Structure 1
Amino acid sequence: MTVTDAWNGPIGLHGADHLDRCNTNRKVLGAAGFEEIGVAPVTATACWGRDATDAVDFFVSRTPGLTVSDTTRASMTKALLPYETGEGVLLRAGVWVVGARRTL
């Protein structure tokens, strides 16, 4: 199995949110010669903007060329208002921490 074969796997199982599903990370790293592969979910509080409006700008900027109406922006801003703090808009975020060892 090549690294490309391991990554391409079943359709729809790509991206960071699916790293552990179907052991894709283990297949990719194993095909690249890594051993002792470990995966751990981690959640943390993340700052998404200085205030709700800034956070909306950030979210919208993640899709270049996307046009978002003023009405939608206002709804998004309203939804984020409860998460505004003195430190910015704070929301929980989740990631997978992946570790492996490769002998050189």
Structure 2
Amino acid sequence: MAQQVYTLLVQVGRAADDGLPDDADGAALVCYASGVDEAEAVRETVAILKQAGLQPVEVTGHGTLDERIAEGHDIPDEERELMERALAENAVIVAQMEPLYDEDFDDED
């Protein structure tokens, strides 16, 4: 089965020496990960993030490039380039990392 690139949104909690701002409660990461299926892409992403000292707590898959286009997503060239790189290097690319603070969770009440 051919490798594909999956877009994943990963929420991480706090861990010692994670590099997040001291007052952050965690972070949200947008990752592009290659895999023969989404489950493999998730496993690889979680393993890489743990090796990097982060503590993944939740992963949400948003599909492959073709699936996202079929859903009507507008995919900028920069994002496509990162996806191509993830595929070419059989890698996990962290495209964006946003620290999360207590107030980011208050809306869920």
Q: TM-score scaled by structure 1?
A: 0.25
Bigger helix fraction = 1
